[in-house]
Structure formats: structure tokens, C-alpha cells
A and B are shown apart, each in its own frame.
Chain A
């Protein structure tokens, strides 16, 4: 079937196909929907947003549940969720559109999903990722604007990106994570009454002197450097804010200082990734209970997943390409083993949050977490039907445990939903075929 190439722009833009899934709540109602949030000691518990990423997707036919709506039947590849399915919504069949840009393997899908804009080329990014849009709203009230983690040992592996040159590096070492969050500047409410340290106050005044330098400097710079200096100043202000917050730390009932990790073993081998992920998750849980951040990003395995089993010379991503689809099984058994490793890690992650009490409920009840990957079927580099899951009740704003079929709707509807639930004042999000004003109503309370 030849598509007539001329009237080219229509062809290139692609058509947002499929029937509308449903019309979501108008924006205002979501903002007002603030009841039902668990309260502890009269003070509202913080609401948090996180992402959880795994690399190299899944097998669409085995991953998406057959039944829709609440109490969906677990699919073979989601079997590992078990009883947690009541906490996890599955959003299948939402699409990333290319809008004429190439489908850069292992890049276009994840960036389009997180920014609502198809990247024009590998490595390019035209809009900030949604976690940074959410931390712009929520990051100001905690010590850390957001915290990024990656479980396979490479700090530059991050999808928290304000632009292609401003990327929030991941913490890969549990020991470093502990020191950064619970070292200097952390106050444990169980360790006696808080006494502000005069040194901390002085740190703040020292920073003011540095800020004065930038003001003097600005006049001398070209426009490109001015932008970079502005970013530097924003980062300085963030630290000032952090210092200020540490002078009146939150006194949360559930907060305590975790035990410091004694050892760590970083790498892409499955055992290393699992252990590192679980250690980082434990620390994240403490960080959230102590309200050190309200936005986080956890990468279990990288896009182009390097996960591998000990003693095997071929890693996950390579397998997705080299391994034939088994004719009997209808899928690639070895590659699928790796996506199962990721699904199990996701289940452990959700379970950890769901089994951590907070207020009258659990930590998970006060979170909104979006799990995602960069492809659906990695062998084909498919970005149609890119897999997304949502966990957490977001203090009653979200209904967990439903399966929503996207039927080819833009994946940006999910990103829009995340922002609106988190109170980002946005009514329309995304560009090109991803432009949307419709949140995913099925998961909204």
C-alpha cells in the first residue's frame, strides 16, 4: 500500500488513531479533589511522585492483561505481581508517535513518553521530562528537589532531564545515597530535640556572597553563558533553600535514620542489580518517610539493558536482537527471562512501599508512581504500545488496580494525568501528535 507522499506534512505527522478511551475529569475537579487524603496528627502527609524504569520492554501479547478494568486477570508476564495487582494499574496500548522523526532505538520512546514531545534525533530533547515539571511544583519544600537512582552502576544513566545539557545524574551507590541523604544536614527526630547548628546558618550567608558574584558577572557574558550562569544560580538557590529547610526539619512520626549500608557491589549482573536496587529502595523509603524529597526516579535497568547473568557472555539488549522467537513458545525465552527479572524487581519495589506504614495507611497510598520502559517489543524497537504501569493511590486521587487499554491513544495522556494528579497547573500537554488535554479518566478517583 503506497501512501501518496505528496501532501507530505499530513503523511509525516501521523494520525492519532483509535477511539477515545474516555473523557477524564476536568482539571479543576482534580485540584479540588483533596479529600480522603490520609492525615497524621492533623498535618497533611506529603504527596510524592516517582518514576520506575526498566529497559528493553516486554512481549506485548504476553504482558497486557486480557481483561480490562478493575480486578483484571494477570497476564503471564505480570503474574509476578500476584496480590499486588490491586495496587498496580496497567496502561497498555498507548502509543508514542514519531511525527516524521526517526524512531531512534532505545531513545525516542522514552523521551517522547517523558516529555510529551518526539525528539527530533538521538540525544536531542525538546522539552523537560515530567518529573522535573512536577519537582518544579513540589521540590521547593524539601531538602532535595528530587532524588535519582540507578541500580546498574552508571551515574550518567538518568532520565531526569531539564534539557539535553541539564541532566540530573543518578546516585548509583547505596553508600553514597546514605551519606548524601542521611549524613550532614539530616535531622533524625528520634535523636532528641532539634538544635539549629550555627554553622548551618553561616553556610547560608556564605552562599549569599557567592550569589553576589554571579550578579557582577552576568554583565560580561554572552547570551549562551548567561543561560548557563542562570542555571548555576538556580542550583545555588536550591542549596540555600535546602539549608533553610534543614534549619526547621519536618517532624514526621514515621521518620527515623536508617542503618548505613555496609557494603555494595555495583554492576549489571542480575544479582548485583537486584541487590543494589533493593538497597536503594530501602534508603528511598526512609528518605520519603522523612520528607527529604517528594520526587524520585529509580532506574532498575537502563534502556539498552545491560543486565546479564553471571558467567554469560551475552547481555539482555543483545539477546533481544540476536535471539530468535521460539516457534513453539511464540516469544524469546532468554530475553523474556530478563524482562521477568525487571518485573520481579518492580513487584518488590511496590511491595516495599505498600508494606511501609505511614499515617493511617501505607507509604504507597501517599505516592504516585509511574513505571515505564523505552520499547514494547525490543526486537522490533516498537514504540507503539509502550508499556506503562501506575502504582499508588496518590492520597485517594487515583484508583489503583485497573487495566486500561489505550487503543493507540497518545502516551502523553498518561504524563498529563501524572502532572494533574500532582497538582501541576497544566490543562494541555505535549506537542504534535502528543498534544493532549485528556487525562486517563479510568484511573482517576
Chain B
């Protein structure tokens, strides 16, 4: 059982400040030799890891396809649609440990399995798959079936089959062969059952007591084989790795390292990079033809073009990280890329190669450089008819910098706005600025729009433009305090942002584990980031540190269900603490309504989905004990109000500061900004008068939308005992 803190899901944000500090510190000490991730000087010391839980993972669509290709050959066709993957915390990899198989999904798997079995055992291929010849091709041959099932079963289930498992398949083969008078038809049915086995569709891991450290659970050597191969190769283990797993090599430090080095040097490593970036950037939407543009506004758009655009990005990433061993951060400034003819039309660049891609370097004078100027991302984070600064900004914040942008406030009412006709304003900047007069919206839009506006000179499919509706576009802005004049400078600011590298580490770690970072792993992730911050964000270094680290090799055990609190009409829906291990609380899924507009920032189709905060139940503070502001600030405000960052010194959403030493004076005895609240004689905090304190009113849930949204906006409501604490503090005279 891992230690639980108040807010496990917000560790990335907590680390935002830490990382920023570390970076500043590192910069100050540049050239002074090894530094510490903890900021205390000396070498970077590996922290102890308390790994999180393990859960079975459904093969993603890509992994399924890769596995079939590896076992039966690339030419095997997979007809029909595999059940859609589920994106959680921004990754299919994380969703894969939450999903099961729905009825329609199973139906699809069955029909696909039958087709694969038929292809694999087609007359022209069967000799390659089956070593023995059946004694009678018109009837059962148990011995030959047994040999086939045992061999192919080991490949598909990634472990040797038990006697019982083999015999049940041999029986299926025999029944079918006898009924249909065809040995091969029988074998097909047996193979179909293997392809439908839960241990094929899911990766199911096992742990054992670590003899070196009793009390700790480690993954078995066999489980390590699949964990390694699906992470580093996005496919099944090859024979050498599987054999190493079976021999027990992969729980031995030395032998494990040897296998890992072999895997990192293999051309298959590219698959992992493609899978990770495809997952992170939500390229599945492109693969599945879900990115669609208006044909009149964007005649250059086609599914072939956008498919090539995604490929361009992946080729660039693979070349930079795998072939060149470059630094991840330079991906946002690199001028080197790859072009094909269909995307050349949108880039307005000649491409000599008739089919396929050729290397290209944007000239220094070109307005484009780095991934943010790629058609793929620009078109994906746009609407069908126009670009979207909000979606693009949200992508940068959430996906590239790991900063949570709160979902749109509940109860947002657009009829509150001055009914000016935003439709007639020429540029996105005009429209957004007019729109974001509402303080509730302004705070969060300020996190997204200014970044996205920097990309406005590239339209809804990423083509360059100077004007919108005849008005000149101004692409200047700032990113976390660093001003930029245009998209290229935005890319440079991003590449130097202290959050970029650590976020890459976090994302890859979540991708590796298929879940949120557990509390006992947070320092380990920080440690990896600190090392890479010092040595450069080289992909192989990152992967090596992940797979050789204890978070990857050990576990707290299988994930257990968090008991669902019984609905109690006297409880607000979100206020019950739910003890549990790790991340079993389901997160919003793929089917969540998607935002399509620039003024209502719901979760993006692809960005990380905010996870509900899980809090342990605490004993309510006895109201008799005096409560001081320092407690309120430490226990509640610092944790819930300043980190998005809403009421921090940089943002001061709604004109309210809840960070640092100025917070008390901004709260107690001060009039609220909300007009309705002022009209009702609320104070932000009225000492001794909870009823007149707007702060308390806001965290309880205002009775009328004119008072704005319930707070906090992100990460779930405050727990009852937290609210009690605020109430006790105010009732006790709101002491400093």
C-alpha cells in the first residue's frame, strides 16, 4: 500500500514549482558538476521507490495489429474495427488498464479472430505455421494439433500453455475437424479460441516476493518480458526475450541490462516512439479519419494529406530522437523535417519525390520551425471550419507542459455576456478578447488562448496566412512570462520552458506504467527528470532509467477496486473521501462531450482528462480548537486554489490572491469582485460571520448562477472536513 497524499493527481503541478526552482538552481550552478534533484547540492541521489499497483492492460489497437503482424506476418489483414481505445489522463496507454471488452467489441474480436485464423492457416501459408502434416487432412489429428497449439499458444499468450489449456484447444480442433471433415478447419477454430483468450487480448502480469527485499513484490521474469517488449517495441517479445523471461533472466540486474541494451539498439525501438507520440498527440483521430475539414474552405485537405501530415511528424520525431539521439526539447525548434507531395501542397513547397517522403530543412527565414508548426498538430487542434487558439493552447499546456487547465466552470451562461456580435469581429484575437470579459472564463482562457494565438498565422489545416477576414493577424504573446513575437519564437520559448522536459518524463512514465504516477514514485520521476535536465533529454537515457528503475520492476500488487461510497442525499456528490490504492478511480472517458468552441474549454478530445481528486477521509477538526489562517492556507488554499494557477500571484483570477503572505489581507474584510455578492453585503471573509463570508458560500456552492461557479474549479469539490475547517476559522474570528 502506498502512502497517500491529499492530492495525488496534482503531483505534476506541484512539481511545476519544484521543477522551475530546480531549473533555476541548475542554471545558476552550470558547470559546477553534478547537481541534486532535491536542490540541496551534491550528486543526484536515486530515491527509494514505492511502486504503484499493476492492472491488466488491454492491447491497444496498434499493439493488437503489431502482435498479429509479428506472429502471422505483416500481410495478415485485420478486417473490421477493433473496439475503440479509451483515452485517460491523455493516453490510450492509461485507458488500457481501465477498459474491458463490451459486447459489440467482443463480437468484433471474434469475427476478426476467425478471419486471422483462416488467413494464417490458408493452404499457401499453413506449412509455415504447422510443422507436422496431419495423418488425415479430412479428420482430427490430436498429436499434430497439440504441437501447433503449444507452439502458437506460447507466442500469442506470451507464456507456455498448461496441459489443460492445450487439451481444451485440441478438443475444439478435434470436434470441428470431425464435424466438418477438415483437419485445417479444426485447427482454425482452435486458433480462434487462442486469439479470443483474455490472456491474449489483455496483458496480465504476475508478481512475486522479491527474495532480495522480502516485503517487496517484484514482477516475475516472465511478466517482465512482455512489459518490456510492449513498452520498448510496442509488440510481443521476440524469441530471445521470451526465452530470457522463461529462464528467469529478467529479474537479474545484469542480464536485464543486457536485454534492455539489446532492445534499445533494435530497429523495433522506433515502434515505441511512434506509439508513444501517436498516443500523446492523439493521432488515432487522424488514422481513423475523424479529422474532417470543410471542403470549400480547405480544398487542399484530404484524408491522404492529413495522414501524411501525421507521418511527417512521426518521421521527424523518430529521426530526431532515435536516429540522431537528439534532445527532446529541440523538437520544438528543429527546422529539419520530412515532406511528401500531398503535404507539400499545403506547405506550398515543391517535393521531388513522387511517392513517399524526402528530407527537408525549413530555411532560417521561414516562419516555420519545430513541431508546433506541423500541419498535423495544427489541423488536429482546430475545428472543421477554422483554427482554434483555445484548443491549440490547451494542447500545449496540458499535453506538453503537464499543466491542468480546469474544465469549463459548471453553470457558465453565455447570455451573461454583453450581447455584442462577436461573429462580425475579424480575428480570433478580437473575438476571444471580447468574449473573455467574464471573470470566471477569463482566468482559464488566459492559460490557453495567448499560446494558441501565437499560432494564428496558420489556419485550420496549418496553411500560412497573414490576415483573417482582411485584418492583419498579430501572433505575439507570452508563454509563462517569456514574450514571443511569432510562432517560431513561441517554439523557442516552449523549448526552453522548465516544464517541458519534466513533462516529457512524466508522460513517458505514465505511458510505461499505464496509470497515474503513484505517490511513492513521484520522487523517482523527479529524479529521472533532474538527471536529464543536467545531461539532456535523450530518449534512450530516459527509457533506460524507466525500465531499470524499481517503479517498472516492482509493484504494490494488483489494483483493487475503490469501494463506491453509498449515495447519501445528505452528502454533496463529491465530498466523500475514497481510500484506495493508486489510481483505480475511473476517469472521464473518451465519450465525454468534446469542446468544439473557443469560449467553452471543456476537455479537449485528446488532452489529458482531469482526474477527480481522491482524498482520504480525515477526522474533522474539533471546532473548539482555534484555527489560524496559516492552517487554512497550508491545508486548503495552497493545495487547491493557487496551483492551476488560478488565485496565484501570476493569475489572480477574479482579482483574488490566495498565495503567499498577501492572501490574508486580500480575503478578510475585503469586498468581493462579484457584483451580486457585493449587493448582498457579502465580504470575502467576514470575521466571525460565516453566513456573510463569500468564500464559504463559494466553496459550498452558490445558490444562484449570478454568484458565479462553485469553487474550486478543478480537481473536485472540497471535502466536508475542509469546508468545516474554513467555517471554524471564520467563526472563530478569522485569525491571522
Contacts and interface: CB of A to CB of B under 8 A. Distances in A.
Interface of A: 1-6, 8-9, 11-13, 98-108, 117-118, 120-124, 126, 144-145, 148, 153-159, 161, 163-169, 176, 180, 184, 198-199, 201-203, 205-207, 209-210, 212-214, 216-217, 220-225, 227-229, 231-232, 234-236, 238-239, 242, 266-269, 302-304, 306, 308, 310-315, 317-325, 374, 377, 379-381, 431-432, 435
Contact of B204 (A159, A217, A269): A217
A321 B206 contact: no
Interface string B383-426: 11110000000000000000000011111111100011111000
B84 A12 contact: no
Given A2-B682, A184-B111, A314 B386 contact: yes
Q: Is the interface of B mostly helix, strand, loop or mixed?
A: loop
B597 interface: yes
B63 interface: no
A13 B569 contact: yes
Interface in B110-168: 110-111, 114, 164-165, 168
B107 A239 contact: yes
Nearest to A152: B292
B186 to A, nearest CB: 9
Given A101-B573, A157-B591, A165-B100, A124 B180 contact: no
Nearest 6 A/B pairs, CB to CB: A123-B588, A102-B410, A222-B558, A313-B385, A120-B573, A231-B100
A313 B297 contact: yes
Nearest to B86: A165
Contact of A101 (B101, B294, B561, B574): B574
Given A210-B198, A229-B56, A232-B201, 5 more contacts: A122-B603, A176-B81, A267-B292, A312-B294, A313-B460
Nearest to A324: B419
A379 B590 CA distance: 24
A232 B199 CA distance: 12
A105 B410 contact: yes
16 contacts: A12-B700, A102-B709, A122-B610, A148-B104, A156-B84, A158-B591, A168-B104, A198-B179, A224-B558, A225-B204, A235-B103, A235-B106, A235-B107, A304-B594, A318-B599, A322-B599
Nearest to B431: A322
A216 B189 CA distance: 20
Given A2-B680, A239-B103, A325-B419, A209 B169 contact: yes
A325 B691 contact: no
B561 A223 contact: yes
B625 interface: no
Contacts of A3: 703-704
Contact of B697 (A5, A169, A221, A268): A5
Tell me whether chain A's interface is mostly helix, strand or loop, or mixed.
Answer: loop
A104 B56 contact: no
Contacts of B111: 184
A127 to B, nearest CB: 9
Contacts of A318: 383, 596-599
A393 to B, nearest CB: 29
Interface stretch (B37-45, B170-178, B363-371): B170-178
Interface centre among B55, B410, B571, B593 (most CB of A within 10 A): B593
Nearest to A433: B569
Contact of B197 (A198, A210, A322): A210
Contact of A164 (B175, B423, B588): B588
Contacts of B295: 310
Nearest to B388: A318
Nearest to B557: A222
Contacts of A319: 423
A18 to B, nearest CB: 18
Interface of B: 53, 55-56, 80-81, 83-84, 86, 98-107, 110-111, 114, 164-165, 168-169, 171-172, 175-176, 179-180, 189-190, 192-193, 196-199, 201, 204, 206, 288-290, 292, 294-297, 383-386, 407-415, 419-423, 431, 435, 460, 557-561, 567, 569-574, 584, 586-600, 602-603, 609-610, 612, 680-682, 690-691, 696-697, 700-701, 703-704, 709-710, 716, 723, 727
Given A5-B697, A156-B590, A213-B199, A431 B567 contact: yes
Given A121-B716, A381-B411, A169 B180 contact: no
A202 B586 contact: no
Contacts of B409: 102
Nearest to B171: A209
Nearest to A238: B103
- Residue in A123, A202, A320, A374 with the greatest tally of chain B CB atoms within 10 Å: A123
Given A165-B100, A313-B294, A101 B572 contact: yes
A211 to B, nearest CB: 10
B102 A166 contact: yes
A106 B594 CA distance: 9
B204 to A, nearest CB: 7
Contacts of B709: 102
Contacts of A311: 294, 296-297
A325 B418 CA distance: 11
A102 B411 contact: yes
A431 B569 contact: yes
B410 A104 contact: yes
B403 to A, nearest CB: 18
Given A202-B175, A209-B169, A318-B597, A123 B100 contact: no
B406 to A, nearest CB: 10
A313 B407 CA distance: 25
A167 B102 contact: yes
B415 A380 contact: yes
Contacts of B571: 9
A6 B696 CA distance: 9
B168 to A, nearest CB: 5
B383 A315 contact: yes
Contacts of B168: 209, 212
Nearest to B175: A205
A242 to B, nearest CB: 7
Given A157-B591, A321-B414, A308 B294 contact: yes
A381 B419 contact: no
B415 A379 contact: yes
A85 B394 CA distance: 45
A379 B414 contact: yes
Contacts of A180: 107
Nearest to B706: A1
Given A11-B703, A308-B384, A302 B590 contact: no
Contact of A225 (B84, B411, B559): B559
A239 B106 contact: yes
A206 B691 contact: no
Given A102-B410, A217-B204, A232-B106, A4 B561 contact: no
A306 B384 contact: yes
Contacts of A12: 572, 700-701
Contact of B407 (A122, A207, A321): A122
B384 A268 contact: yes
A122 B604 CA distance: 12
B294 A310 contact: yes
Contacts of B612: 120-121, 124
B196 to A, nearest CB: 5
Contact of A103 (B384, B410, B573): B410
A157 B84 CA distance: 11
A102 B710 contact: yes
A205 B164 contact: no
A232 B385 contact: no
B691 A6 contact: yes
B84 A220 contact: no
B415 A9 contact: no
B558 A221 contact: yes
B576 to A, nearest CB: 10
B590 A304 contact: no
A13 B575 CA distance: 13
A321 B410 CA distance: 15
A224 B106 contact: no
A333 to B, nearest CB: 11
